Structure 1
């Protein structure tokens, strides 16, 4: 039995300099998919100039941010003193916990000949008990992302978050969650079965594919129903296709989101702002700024 399709959307587009940003989550149909409460897609674009000043530092509390760069080079710096740079295929994960200020810098990949940038930023909502933990950060380079070939030379799968068969991501699981990058060769297909009450969505990064017998377009987000069932992905094109599949168990605690904070009550949102303006999130250290 295949999972039902709930909706599809291409999100809302905004421009940030040469970059086109598509806000996929939240959208008019839903505010979350499993623990994922936010998704911005940086559409493929040529970036000719290196930005050395960062994209603006800002606070977070109550979530973990996850940046996955398909093409490009991304720097991370924060008020806990963390600094890292990842290249194409790499991942940056940051647990905001009780509060942190962080910034980023997205440029073309200095290790390749391409000036193309393309990537994603997710926010992963933390359970209430983990919102009170100290901030943490993990940088994962492309060659450290768990990956395996699919059967019958159909392509490959990367595990960005969660687990798949014997593969496990370095990113902590505070609830059942997954984020897979699936690459299918021309004319190939892949199927995965998900148990009951698992929320899931797919995002198409390169071209149209067929999901559970329905064709969807590039840069489209598709969410599936919660009942147990399979998600079947078919690439009927003459070229390769790439799909992100993500989700997890339903987040059942109350959610109140405002600006950069995602908490469990309005009172906690107020406290998050008060603590930020009182300086309790600290500032980005000058030693980190020197590396930007």
Structure 2
């Protein structure tokens, strides 16, 4: 979903991959394909299913439906994982998202790090008038604050809006903001958009009003942040600030400087 023909980034967010709802009958234990990253933090948010993470820094974790995996690639890391149905529920459905969050140049030179946040640890609060709820995956909202580090002004909210309800959120000027609709239509600032659409807003600040005219609850991802003003050069799994750094990222990877995944760390 990101980048697309209209925009290459929204605040620090430079990539969004959506795993649409699907039934998964077979458990995969062999990984989806180990690969490197440098210069970004990856964020995986699982609506349904469970995601297993292992990397060359020795981190291992498994999250279940509603959980989040965050990995700062920093100077370089190799990671892999499995996306399966949730072993803690009866559902065989999987659905989720992976974002890449671009790091400021100074943070690209830091050591890798990892966080696994289970669903009950994700900050959440009810919306007024029994309208639904909001989860703070990244950043802050009112008295809620995510555990995920902020290297710039950034946010990622999951909003669930009940049938026939509406909700408004105020944003400051110069914030780059976008939304992604999952499986239902929604009315945003009096314009109806369809399920699966990616919508970017202007930077004039003010309110975003969300209306649900459906007969069921709808889910909306709202994300963005301050503009990333440093140069952005992306190639393959690396996002750096110039082409020379991209070349160095590949050279370091092929020289084995990102280490290898030790499956003995997998539990």
Query: Given the two structures, how large is their TM-score scaled by the length of structure 2?
Result: 0.99
Question: Hey, what's the Cα distance between the residues in 2 that align with 1:189 and 1:286?
Answer: 47
Q: State how far apart, in whole Å, the 1-side matches of 2:96 and 2:263 are.
A: 28
Distance 2:257 2:239 in 1: 17
Q: CA deviation at 1:286?
A: 3.2
Cα distance in 1 for partners of 2:118, 2:183 equals: 22
Q: Distance in 1 between matches of 2:81 and 2:220?
A: 25
Of 130, 135, 159, the residue aligned with 2:112 is 135
* Per-residue Cα deviation, 1:230-270 (whole angstroms, up to 9, x for no partner): 11100011110110000000000000000000000000000
1:150 equivalent among 105, 119, 127: 127
Question: 2:118 and 2:54 mapped to 1: Cα distance?
Answer: 16
For residues 163-216 of structure 1, what are the alpha-carbon distances to aligned partners after superposition, in whole Å with 9 as ceiling and x for unaligned?
000000000000000000001110001111111100000111131010011000
Q: Does 1:258 align with 2:239?
A: no
Partner of 2:88: 111
CA positional deviation for 1:104: 1.2
1:253-292 to 2 correspondences below 5 Å: 253-288=230-265, 290-291=266-267
Which residue number in structure 1 is paired with residue 178 of structure 2? 201
Residues 15-73 of structure 1 deviation map (CA, whole Å, 9 limit, x = unaligned) = xxxxxxxxx00001110000000000000000010011110010000000000000001
1:91-147 residue CA offsets vs partner (Å, 9 max, x unmatched):
000000000000010000011110000000000000000000000000000000000
Aligned partners of 2:6, 2:128: CA distance in 1, in Å? 35
- 2:53 corresponds in structure 1 to 76
Structure 1: gaps (5+ residues): 1-23
Alignment of structure 1 residues 20-59 onto 2, 5 Å: 24-59=1-36
Q: State whether structure 2 residue 212 is matched by structure 1 residue 235.
A: yes
Where does structure 2 lack aligned partners over 5 or more consecutive residues? none
Measure, in 1, the Cα distance between the counterparts of 2:23 and 2:197: 21
Alignment partner of 1:186: what SS? Answer: coil
Q: Matches of 1:206 and 1:174 in 2, distance apart?
A: 31
Give the whole-Å Cα distance in 2 for the aligned partners of 1:140 and 1:237: 31
1:181, 1:206 → 2: CA distance?
Answer: 13
Distance 1:96 1:274 in 2: 16
Corresponding position of 1:5: none
Provide the C-alpha distance between the structure 1 equivalents of 2:198 and 2:108, rounded to a whole number of angstroms: 28
Which of 79, 95, 102 in structure 2 is aligned with 1:125?
A: 102
Alignment-derived partner of residue 11 in structure 1? none
Distance in structure 1 (CA, Å) of the matches to 2:206 and 2:232: 27
